[in-house]
């Protein structure tokens, strides 16, 4: 079978399955299966594939047709200009999460912070904290997650991005962070505290069924109308923020007013703001301590 046949049939199959990004998904999966880049799909369009190559392409297409994300099938996802390793069992990075990175980078530049220390709570794949490290060569990072698979994932990305010497990975719940460990934590230890915590209400019935099926519930859902970790983590870690310092958390698009009031109530910040995503929805809660 020729490459062009596999590609065109996969695209049409995805369209028949009502997969919106049919062409992109097919290109990503088949290029990954063949270990070539997407452009090479068309350079080698007339190339015949052997039976083993056809079978792995078919398997990837089958998995995608059942709702599994391209990120889990290929075990990688683009984020803030880098390609991150994403293991099944770890939350897939989303484009809107890049706004957390953007807010932190703006703050660091504006305040001319020379050697920023970053704390990433519930770090998952590590994409937020590691993206900041990649942009700021003098930054250092402490990544915290309770999930063993997430810890493994962060370490893989540290190695992939060659950032091992600037990051510490701690396997613990945020509630059990040893703040008495002044080497890694401590009072007023961080210039930036970031997180994409679980913030979907456990009773929310509108969650994409494929997301619910394949992605880790512990990284998605929270009690108290989705506010449990947003509010608890920001309160627990506030004393570790320096002056000047920034706390930036991703949140649900309906949680802006509540989280604004919560950040104000902490009495930690001289400035609190809600940042919207590209679709105009509230997405990031930001507190700045001056």
Q: Give pLDDT tens digits for 205-215.
A: 889 999 999 99
**Are 36 and 103 in the same domain?**
no
Does residue 178 carry a pLDDT above 90? no
Q: What is the pLDDT of residue 185?
A: 79
Q: Is residue 74 part of a domain?
A: no
Q: Could you tell me the pLDDT band of residue 180, with boundaries at 50, 70 and 90?
A: confident
Domain of residue 38: give its range. 3-66
**Are 46 and 116 in the same domain?**
no
Q: Is residue 201 part of a domain?
A: yes
Q: Two tokens at 6?
A: 């596999």
Q: Give the whole-angstrom CA distance, residue 242 versus residue 138.
A: 17
**Are 217 and 277 in the same domain?**
yes
Collect contacts of 10-16 with beta carbons under 8 A, ≥24 apart. Answer: 10/57, 10/61, 13/61, 13/65, 14/61, 14/64, 14/65
**Are 269 and 204 in the same domain?**
yes
Does residue 151 carry a pLDDT above 90? yes
Query: Do residues 246 and 288 touch, judged by C-beta distance below 8 A?
Result: yes
**Are 236 and 136 in the same domain?**
yes
Residue among 105, 97, 102 nearest 126 (CA): 97
The CA-CA-CA angle for residues 96, 97, 99, to 5°, reads: 80
Q: Could you tell me the pLDDT band of residue 76, with boundaries at 50, 70 and 90?
A: very high
**Are 107 and 195 in the same domain?**
yes
**Are 58 and 110 in the same domain?**
no
Specify the pTM: 0.94
Q: Is residue 73 part of a domain?
A: no
Q: What is the pLDDT of residue 276?
A: 97
Q: Is residue 24 part of a domain?
A: yes
**Are 42 and 176 in the same domain?**
no
**Are 271 and 171 in the same domain?**
yes
Instruction: Work out the average pLDDT over 164-176.
Output: 95
**Are 161 and 117 in the same domain?**
yes
Q: Is residue 155 part of a domain?
A: yes
Q: What is the pLDDT of residue 179?
A: 78
**Are 56 and 92 in the same domain?**
no
CATH number, domain of 231, equals 3.40.50.150
Q: Is residue 79 part of a domain?
A: no
Query: Do residues 248 and 274 touch, judged by C-beta distance below 8 A?
Result: no
Q: How many domains does the chain have?
A: 2
**Are 150 and 191 in the same domain?**
yes
């Amino acid at each position: 079978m020729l490459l062009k046949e596999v590609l065109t049939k996969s695209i049409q199959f995805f369209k028949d399955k009502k997969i919106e990004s049919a062409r992109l998904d097919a290109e990503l999966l088949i290029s990954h299966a063949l270990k070539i880049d997407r452009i090479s799909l068309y350079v080698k369009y007339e190339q015949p594939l052997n039976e083993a190559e056809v079978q792995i392409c078919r398997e990837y297409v089958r998995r995608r047709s059942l709702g599994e994300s391209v990120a889990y099938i290929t075990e990688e996802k683009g984020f803030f200009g880098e390609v991150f390793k994403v293991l099944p069992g770890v939350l897939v990075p989303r484009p809107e999460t890049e706004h957390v990175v953007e807010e932190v980078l703006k703050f660091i530049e504006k305040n001319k912070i020379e050697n920023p220390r970053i704390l990433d709570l519930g770090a998952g794949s590590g994409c937020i904290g590691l993206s900041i490290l990649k942009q700021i060569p003098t930054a250092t990072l402490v990544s915290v997650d309770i999930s063993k698979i997430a810890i493994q994932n962060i370490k893989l990305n540290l190695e992939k991005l060659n950032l091992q010497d600037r990051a510490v990975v701690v396997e613990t719940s945020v509630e059990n962070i040893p703040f008495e460990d002044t080497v890694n934590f401590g009072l007023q230890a961080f210039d930036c505290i970031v997180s994409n915590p679980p913030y979907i209400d456990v009773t929310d019935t509108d969650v994409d069924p494929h997301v619910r099926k394949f992605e880790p519930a512990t990284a998605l859902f929270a009690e108290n109308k989705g506010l449990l970790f947003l509010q608890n983590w920001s309160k627990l870690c506030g004393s570790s923020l320096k002056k000047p310092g920034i706390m930036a958390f991703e949140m649900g698009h309906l949680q802006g007013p509540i989280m604004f009031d919560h950040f104000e109530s902490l009495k930690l910040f001289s400035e609190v703001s809600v940042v919207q995503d590209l679709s105009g929805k509230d997405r990031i809660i930001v507190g700045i301590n001056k």
